[in-house]
Structure 1
Amino acid sequence: MSTVLLVHAKGGPPLGHVLSRAAARAEVHLLALSALPSAIAASAGELCASVVTPAEAQPRDLVSLIVSRAEAVGADAVLTFSEYAVVAVAEACEVLGLAGPGGAAALARDKRMMRHTWHRRGLPQPEFRPVATQADLHEAAATLPLPMLLKAAWSAGSTAHQIIGSPQEADAAWQRSREVMAESAQLGFAELHVAEADAHFVVEQIVTGTTEQWFDEPGWGDYVSVEGVVAGGVFHPVCVSGRMPTVEPFTERASITPALLPADLQDRVVALAREAVDALGLRDCGTHTEIKLGAGGRMWLIETAARFGGAMTVPQIEEVFRLDLVGMLVDHLLGRPVDWPERALGPGQARGAAGSLVVLAVDGQGEAWRDRRVWDFPVAKEAVALSEGSNLSVVPESSLPDGSTVPVYDPVGGANTMAALCLLSAADARTVLRDFTNLVDALPAVLPAAVPSVPAASQPAPAARSQVRPTAEPEGVAA
């Protein structure tokens, strides 16, 4: 039986889903760079031939660590589904002579290099400037159209994103974004291999998106993602996922498979995604390419990742199109033949629809909830009326336990302030969008009110602190 080394870190599809599919194709050895979610810790031991967590005192040369472990278990393939470990795994595969994303993997992680690569190819994207210092940010604010978006070059889940509306806001934005990146790193939501990655930033022009001429009904977000895979250097698009509108500044709220794009517009979107992936020179990996939709058919590339989409993107595709992307990628990396779709699948090939919703303390208009609430999935499921045939579930390993206070939404923290991740299956994508809209509107009213805690008179009031992740943290969502 073939042997696979799976490198686990925060983010990506739910680990339980990945392990069960990979274990059906090969003997799996798990190298856990992050703590295993408690919801699947026991099953991981049953599904894997071994589970190894590096000791804190062990040197954190990840490439050497991965290579050493792969050689110890006789791995025929090494892979990861985490954004934060992609570069290290790609370099380890190069050392081992195994199939992997290739030496260009960093181009799909560092947003500065990604944009430079696309710029050289003349691909449509927002105007940008790399930023390494506070002085760089001031220079960018003087040359780029305002408002502009400050991004951490190696972040995921919209972490440390800030809109800068005037040059006077640059200093505070710079300080806050660096603070959030440092806090995220302490919690494991940061690049694991590249030194000082948390100090790399980029600023981008904010382009104006629209859903008109793209979607026939309201409620959709003005961007989509093309899910695919690169096999032997050849890009194979799988499908296009739609979105609900983001929460300010650009935090993702929900992904819906499939996107209800007319066939000719889907073809145009997929063609741009193909150009973006080809330009990066990836070799063997999943891909996730986000594209902004504009008026008059305009499009702009947001970013491409050298891995499958995070959250529930992979399970959604399996449910809707009956494609086990995890198992198919494992087979390909092991040298087995795989029948990838001949072209991107669309609504005509879908069996129903599925979507995932990140629960944030923000209503449908983007306003923060007026009071604190307690996350309680059974209460939410019972109280919110869904369409006939729709089924709502919660992803335990990506959610806070019932009874936890929903974190205050922090725009700079992005998805780091999520309370839960929900999955919805329905008859079609329109129904998913409608049910999610109803759910978002209802949650601040139906969830139990949190009981405010009153500090003892003898104790000083607690100091203000960032809302980046509650103590009992859900698994990260890197979309």
Structure 2
Amino acid sequence: MSTVLLVHAKGGPPLGHVLSRTAARADVHLLALSALPPSVAASAERLCASVVLPTDAERSDLVSLIVARAQAVGADAVLTFSEYAVVAVAEACEALGLAGAGDAAALARDKRMMRHTWHRHGLPQPAFRPVATQADLHEAVAALTAPLLLKAAWSAGSTAHQIIASPQEADAAWQRSRETMDQSARLGFAELHVAEAAGHFVVEEIVTGDTAGWFDEPGWGDYVSVEGVVTGGVFRPVCVSGRMPTVEPFTERAGITPASLPVDLQDRVVDLARKAVDALGLRDCGTHTEIKLGADGRMWLIETAARFGGAMTVPQIEEVFGLDVVGMLVDHLLGRPVAWPDRVLGPEQARGAAGSLVVLAVDGRGAAWRDRRRWDFRVVREAVALSEGSTLSVVPESSLPDGSIVPVYDPAGGANTMAALCLLSAADARTVLRDFTALVDALPDVLPPAVPAAPRPGPPAGRSRNTTAPSASASPARPRVQPAVPSEGVAV
């Protein structure tokens, strides 16, 4: 049987899903650059031929570590599904002579190089400037048209995003973004190979999205993602996923497979994604390309990743289209024939729909919850009414334990301040969107309070007792301390 070295780090699809699909195709040796989620540790021991957690000293030269471990186990393929390990694994595959994303992996990781590449190819995207210092940021703010978005060039999950509405806000945005990147690194949500990555930023103009000409019903977000794969340098689209509107500044709340796009519009989106991937020159890897939708059919490229989409995108594809894209990619990297779809799959080929929701302490309008709550999936499952035939589950490895206090949402922290990740299956994408909307609206009311209300003094004799509990105290200011996050985040 063939041998695969799987490099695990935070983010990406759930490790349990990835492990089981990979183990069905090959003997798996796991190199864990992040601690294994407790819910997966036992199955990892069962499914893997070996599990190695390297020391900090061993991780100082990550590519050499991966190469040495691959050689020790006789790996026929090396892969990762984490954004933070993509570049290191690609370089290791090059050194080993194995199939991988290739030298272009960094172009699909560093947002500065990505945008420069697309600019040279004349592809539509927001105007931008790379930023390495506070002085660079001031120059960029003067050159571009506000409002602007400052983002870390190597981040994921909308981490360290800051909106700059005027030049006077630049200094505060710069300080907050850098603080957030430091926090993320301590949590393990940071680039693992490029030492100076935390100091790289890009600022870009915020383009105006519009869904009116794209979707037949309201409630959809103004961007989509094209899920696909590159094999031998050839881009093969699999499907298009839709979104709910983001939470300010641009934190993703939910992804839905498939997107409810008409065939002609879906083809236009896929064509732009193909041009974006082709321009980057990727070779053998999964891909995830995000595209902003505008009025009059306009589109702008947001970013492309040299890996499959995070959160539950991969399990959603398997549920809806019956494609085990993890196993298919493993087969391809091992040199086996794989029957990828002849063309992108859409609602017509789907068996229902599925979506993943990131639980954040904000309501449907993006406003912070009025009080603190405790996450309890059992309460949610029993209290929130969904459409007939819809089923809701929680992803344990990407969720806080029941009883945990839901973190205050921090716009700069993005998905770092999530409480849980939920998966919903329904008859169609419209139903997923409707049920998620109902779920988001219900959460701040059905979840138990973080601090039970203090009992009121009893009423005077002869008068009835008021049984209405007082509301909990208002949320404190958003903390700038390390948030409580699940063991595995969602780099989408």
SS at match of 2:326: helix
Q: CA deviation at 1:463?
A: 12
Q: CA deviation at 1:55?
A: 1.5
Q: Paired residue for 2:486?
A: 473
Q: CA deviation at 1:196?
A: 1.0
Q: Paired residue for 1:458?
A: none
Change beyond 3 A, Cα 1:355–1:467:
farther
Distance in 1 (alpha carbons) for counterparts of 2:129 and 2:483:
29
- Deviation digits for residues 361-406 of structure 1, max 9, x if unmatched? 0000000000000000000110000000000000000000000000
Please, which runs of 5 or more residues in structure 1 have no aligned partner?
455-461
SS at match of 2:58: coil
Letter matched to residue 186 of structure 1: R
Distance in 1 (alpha carbons) for counterparts of 2:34 and 2:441:
34
Distance in 2 (alpha carbons) for counterparts of 1:183 and 1:277:
31
Contact 1:408 1:467 in 2 (8 A): no
Q: CA deviation at 1:60?
A: 1.5
Report 1:408-447 matches (<5 A).
Answer: 408-447=408-447
Q: CA deviation at 1:467?
A: 5.1
Q: CA deviation at 1:451?
A: 1.1
Letter matched to residue 325 of structure 1: V
Q: Paired residue for 2:355?
A: 355
Contact 2:158 2:413 in 1 (8 A): yes
Q: Paired residue for 1:386?
A: 386
Contact 2:397 2:486 in 1 (8 A): no
Q: Paired residue for 1:371?
A: 371
Q: Paired residue for 1:80?
A: 80
SS at match of 1:351: coil
Distance in 2 (alpha carbons) for counterparts of 1:379 and 1:464:
26
Q: Paired residue for 1:149?
A: 149
> Rg bigger for which structure?
2
Q: Paired residue for 1:459?
A: none
Q: Paired residue for 2:27?
A: 27
Contact 2:407 2:418 in 1 (8 A): yes
Q: Paired residue for 2:205?
A: 205
Distance in 2 (alpha carbons) for counterparts of 1:264 and 1:214:
10
Q: Paired residue for 1:299?
A: 299
Distance in 1 (alpha carbons) for counterparts of 2:111 and 2:38:
32
Q: Paired residue for 2:3?
A: 3
Letter matched to residue 103 of structure 1: D
Change beyond 3 A, Cα 1:464–1:344:
closer
Letter matched to residue 466 of structure 1: R
Percent identity, aligned pairs only, is 84
Larger mean CA deviation between 53-62 and 191-200 belongs to 53-62
- Deviation digits for residues 324-381 of structure 1, max 9, x if unmatched? 0000000000000000011100000000000000000000000000000000000011
Normalised by the length of structure 2, the TM-score is 0.94
Contact 2:408 2:478 in 1 (8 A): no
Change beyond 3 A, Cα 1:433–1:117:
same
Q: CA deviation at 1:59?
A: 4.7
Letter matched to residue 396 of structure 2: P
Distance in 1 (alpha carbons) for counterparts of 2:238 and 2:340:
8
Contact 2:224 2:240 in 1 (8 A): yes
Report 1:44-193 matches (<5 A).
Answer: 44-193=44-193
Please, which runs of 5 or more residues in structure 2 have no aligned partner?
455-475
Distance in 2 (alpha carbons) for counterparts of 1:400 and 1:187:
15
Q: Paired residue for 1:346?
A: 346
- Deviation digits for residues 95-130 of structure 1, max 9, x if unmatched? 000000000000000000000000000000000000
Change beyond 3 A, Cα 1:27–1:363:
same
Distance in 2 (alpha carbons) for counterparts of 1:154 and 1:42:
32
C-alpha RMSD of the superposition = 1.4
Contact 1:410 1:467 in 2 (8 A): no
Q: CA deviation at 1:465?
A: 4.5
- Deviation digits for residues 133-162 of structure 1, max 9, x if unmatched? 000000111110001000000000000000
Normalised by the length of structure 1, the TM-score is 0.97
Q: How many residues align?
A: 471
Letter matched to residue 491 of structure 2: A
Letter matched to residue 86 of structure 1: V
Distance in 2 (alpha carbons) for counterparts of 1:386 and 1:127:
42
SS at match of 1:49: strand
